[in-house]
Amino acid sequence: MPEPTDMLANNRQWAHDVSSRDPDFFNRLARQQTPDCLWIGCSDSRVPATQIVDVPPGEIFVHRNIANQVIHSDLNCQSVIQFAVDVLKIRHILICGHYGCSGIAAAAENERHGLVDHWLRHLTDLFESHQELLDSVADDRSRSQLQSELGVIKQVSNIATTVTVRDAWQRGQELSIHGWVYDVADGLVKDLQVTLGPDSDDKAVISNAIAIAARTARSENQSCP
């Protein structure tokens, strides 16, 4: 595990390597950022936004929190969305959850974890509202993956109902919301087919995405011995 002094040395080497390959790289970035995407992901150390989709600095505006949640009363996340949409004029909001999320696991279990339980309560409520569906998946891993996916689908819905996004769509601004989930076991990102835009039938898209996620969880469940 690298120490902070090692990280500073790594940074100097990285900056040197980047400049060697592209001498104007930092000059360009220093002038301004023009990202096309806002990434909302989990704080988990295994899910670094730019690295897993292989894009350089300057391409993605990033917000991360425990279990990648978009809560309407969270001034931090709501400000990030508003700044990204209204000021940076990003065209895509990517909400990316991941399998094996400890935040999702903590929200799903009946144990106390301290202050963070307030933050996770939104997910606990979500899982309770899908209790019948989750109970129908006997395999623990498949159920946990379904919970991650339900979390993402819910956040897509939450983003679509923010004042910022509603206003953007109303004035004709190009903007779409995508729900993805990352598998830490193989490094692959899956599109949960819950993309929303100004003209989409949000309820139909969301219920369809939930149905696909449920079908997948149940079929994996059946294939288990």
Residues 182 to 211: which contact Zn ion by CB under 5 A?
A: none
Of 77, 101, 143, 178, catalytic: 101
Question: Would you call 46 a catalytic residue per the annotation?
Answer: yes
Among 70, 94, 101, 205, binds Zn ion (CB under 5 A): 101
Give the phi and the psi of residue 179 in degrees, each rounded to 5.
-110, 120
Among 37, 38, 40, 42, binds Zn ion (CB under 5 A): 42
Residues facing residue 119 across a β-bridge: none
Tell me, rounded to whole angstroms, the distance of Cα 217 from its chain centroid: 20
Alpha-carbon distance of 197 to 110, in angstroms, equals 36
Q: Which residues contact 176 (CB under 8 A, 6 or more apart)?
A: 91, 92, 93, 195, 196, 197
What SS3 class is residue 87? helix
Of 44, 63, 96, 143, catalytic: 44
Question: Minimum Å distance from CB 49 to Zn ion?
Answer: 13
Alpha-carbon distance of 188 to 77, in angstroms, equals 25
Question: Minimum Å distance from CB 125 to Zn ion?
Answer: 18
Q: Which is nearer to Zn ion, 4 or 114 (CB)?
A: 114
Of 37, 63, 96, 98, catalytic: 98
Question: Would you call 42 a catalytic residue per the annotation?
Answer: yes
Question: Would you call 44 a catalytic residue per the annotation?
Answer: yes
Active site residues: 42, 44, 46, 98, 101
